[in-house]
């Protein structure tokens, strides 16, 4: 299984902090954000990652190269990062997915135990859901009969937890995800929301919630989030 890390955006809400390089290269402790993510992957036995870059891509490629410690890196370039979102970045990486995928947001750091426990779960299509930690702008999940029914910032159904950006899909579910995304882009639009295909998939596949109940994670969207991340460094 390969990991896709979407990190093409500018990170404009971080203002001056991302003038020289994207937020995945912000320092959190002695490591950059992307290094925290890659080391969590390595700790779980994931040795191949596809990193979707865009804003200041040269800085990322120069810093990481083709291999970071035990993880080989392939880059996919989203040159339309200013007019697109993670859905488009994911779609650009579709040809690299041949045996299912693990999706990660490039602006989220998390304790490696969360990923380890998630990957040992039996479900081949699953989403990490946290019922403990909350954010200012959470992504919510509605769960029915132990299956994901709806995901999004504004869902119509009752929220049963917070989704913060770790997902895995089988190869067949991945291919369906990309086909749903392509229906959006065929008309020239490059935005659609990462969760839109997942909500379609939820009617066709069983997507299971994985309840981590582990609050050791931070989505870095604002300067407040960044300060919070710098205060949560784990052994």
Q: Where are the domains of the chain?
A: 2-230
Which pLDDT belongs to residue 233? Answer: 64
Which pLDDT belongs to residue 58? Answer: 96
Which pLDDT belongs to residue 10? Answer: 85
Q: What residue ranges of the chain have pLDDT lower than 70? A: 134-137, 233-235
What is the pTM assigned to this prediction?
A: 0.94
- How many whole angstroms separate alpha carbon 42 and alpha carbon 104? 14
Which pLDDT belongs to residue 122? Answer: 80
CATH number of 2-230: 3.90.550.10
Which pLDDT belongs to residue 131? Answer: 85
- How many whole angstroms separate alpha carbon 113 and alpha carbon 96? 26
Which pLDDT belongs to residue 196? Answer: 92
Q: Is 3 exposed, middle or buried (0-12, 13-18, 19+ CB in 10 A)?
A: buried
Which pLDDT belongs to residue 102? Answer: 97
Alpha-helix runs per DSSP H in the chain: 33-43, 57-64, 86-92, 112-119, 171-185, 195-201, 223-230
Tokens of 68: 């970071």
- How many whole angstroms separate alpha carbon 10 and alpha carbon 116? 29
């Amino acid at each position: 299984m390969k990991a896709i890390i979407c990190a093409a955006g500018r990170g404009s809400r971080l203002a001056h902090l991302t003038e020289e390089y994207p937020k995945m290269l912000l320092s959190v402790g002695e490591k950059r954000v992307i290094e925290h993510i890659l080391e969590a992957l390595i700790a779980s036995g994931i040795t191949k990652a596809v990193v979707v870059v865009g804003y200041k891509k040269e800085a990322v490629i120069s810093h990481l190269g083709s291999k970071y410690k035990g993880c080989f890196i392939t880059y996919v370039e989203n040159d339309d990062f200013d007019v697109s979102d993670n859905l488009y970045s994911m779609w650009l990486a579709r040809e690299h997915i041949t045996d299912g995928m693990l999706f990660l947001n490039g602006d989220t750091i998390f304790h490696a135990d969360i990923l380890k426990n998630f990957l040992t779960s039996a479900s081949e299509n699953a989403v990490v859901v946290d019922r403990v930690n909350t954010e200012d702008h959470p992504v919510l999940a509605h769960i029915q009969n132990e299956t994901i029914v709806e995901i999004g910032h504004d869902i119509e159904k009752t929220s049963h937890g917070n989704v913060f950006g770790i997902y895995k899909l089988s190869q067949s579910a991945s291919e369906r995800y990309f086909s749903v995304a392509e229906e959006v882009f065929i008309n020239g639009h490059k935005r659609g929301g990462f969760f839109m295909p997942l909500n379609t998939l939820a009617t066709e596949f069983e997507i299971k919630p994985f309840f981590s109940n582990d609050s050791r994670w931070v989505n870095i969207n604002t300067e407040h989030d960044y300060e919070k991340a710098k205060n949560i460094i784990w052994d």
